[in-house]
Structure 1
Amino acid sequence: MHESINIFSQILRSILIGFGILIPIISLIKTSNLKTVEVKNLFILTGIQAVRIAGLLYFIIWAVDTYTIYADAVAIPGGLNIFKASVFGKMWMMYWLPPVFGLMLTQVLWIKKLYMKKVALITFALLILILPSYLFIKLLSIFDGVDIGNAGRSTISQTILYYAISIVIFFFITLAVMLMGGKLKDKK
């Protein structure tokens, strides 16, 4: 059960990463073809809807998983101390920041004035990509005086592969939502 929740959580995180990479690129593409502009704008708006829901679900799954870990820790003698050390110890940034930043930044996209302006949309997409990342958390931990070591660290090829898969997941989920809504058929 925990593995399936972890996989779903990684898919939701991939949607956030894919949004942070693809939306700035698609927003900056210039074209004079009106149908292409309509499809581009539809893709962006559908992507915004997908990332709002993904950010909310990512946080909910994290909160439920945290509660489950807490309930399991309470049942074990001395387990509560282990839970407190892992959730509130020196690694607290690795545990708390990605879901909390993901929730806050994606839910701000409900404000229409923010996502209708290209600069604001690109800024929030990049913030969704950067703030919950390992490198940002590592930088914060250095300023906090805590060395988080190599927790969550992966090789460059693994990171590139993860970002590439995240782009593909976001693209196909957004495209599937566009097709299911029937909006893309109207634009052809």
Structure 2
Amino acid sequence: MQQIHTILGTILQSILIGFGIVIPIFSLLKTSNLKTVEAKNIFILTAVQAVRIAGLFYFIIWALDTYTIYSESIGLKDGMNIFKFRLFGQFWMLYWLPPVFSLLLTQALWIKKIYMKKVALITFALLILILPSYPFILLLSYLKGTDISGFNQNTVLQQVLYYVLSVVIFFFVTVTIMLMGGKLKEKK
């Protein structure tokens, strides 16, 4: 069950990262073709809907994982110490901040003025990309005086591949939702 939560959490996090990369680019694209403009607007609105739901599910999966860790730690000799260290120990920022920031930022997209105005949408997309990210949390930990730099051992190539894969997953999910909703078929 833990593996399913991990896979779902990674996919949902990839949707959020893809949103943060793609939406600012799509929002800034200019074209005079009305069909292209309409398809771009439908894509952006569908992406906003997908990200709202992805942020909520990402937080729910994190809460379920937290409860699972808590319930498993009750029976162990040092279980509660492990649970408390994970939630409130040296790495608490890595555990708490990504799901909480993701939930708050994605649920703010329910406000129509945010997702309808280009500048606000681009700002929130970039915030969704930056605030829950490891480099931002690393910066916060340095400012706090805690060194968590050894926690993530990914190379630059691995990070680039992760972001590229996130964009692909985001496109796949958004286009699938558009096709399932019939939004592309209606416009042809």
Match of 1:130 in 2: 130
Counterparts of 1:169-188 in structure 2, within 5 Å, are: 169-188=169-188
User: What fraction of aligned residue pairs are identical, expressed as a percent?
Assistant: 68
Amino acid at match of 1:53: I
Instruction: Tell me if structure 2 keeps the 8 A contact 1:20–1:128.
Output: yes
Q: Which runs of structure 2 are paired with 1:63-102 in the superposition (5 Å)? A: 63-102=63-102
State the SS of the aligned residue for 1:146: coil
Cross-structure match for 1:32:
32
Structure 1 counterpart of 2:119: 119
Structure 1 residue ranges, 4+ long, deviating more than 4 angstroms after superposition: none
The residue aligned with 2:158 is 158
Give SS of 2:53's match.
Answer: helix
Structure 2 unpaired stretches of 5+: none
Where in structure 1 are there 5+ consecutive unaligned residues? none
Which amino acid in 1 is paired with 2:106?
A: T
Please tell me the root mean square deviation across aligned C-alpha atoms, in Å: 0.7
Q: What TM-score, normalized to structure 1? A: 0.99
What is the distance in 1 between the residues matched to 2:101 and 2:75?
Answer: 31
Is contact 1:98–1:132 with CA below 8 Å preserved after alignment?
yes
CA drift at 1:77: 1.4
> Do 1:134 and 1:153's aligned partners in 2 also have CA atoms closer than 8 Å?
no
* TM-score with structure 2 setting the length: 0.99
Q: State how far apart, in whole Å, the 1-side matches of 2:163 and 2:45 are.
A: 21
Cα drift, residue 152 of structure 1:
2.5
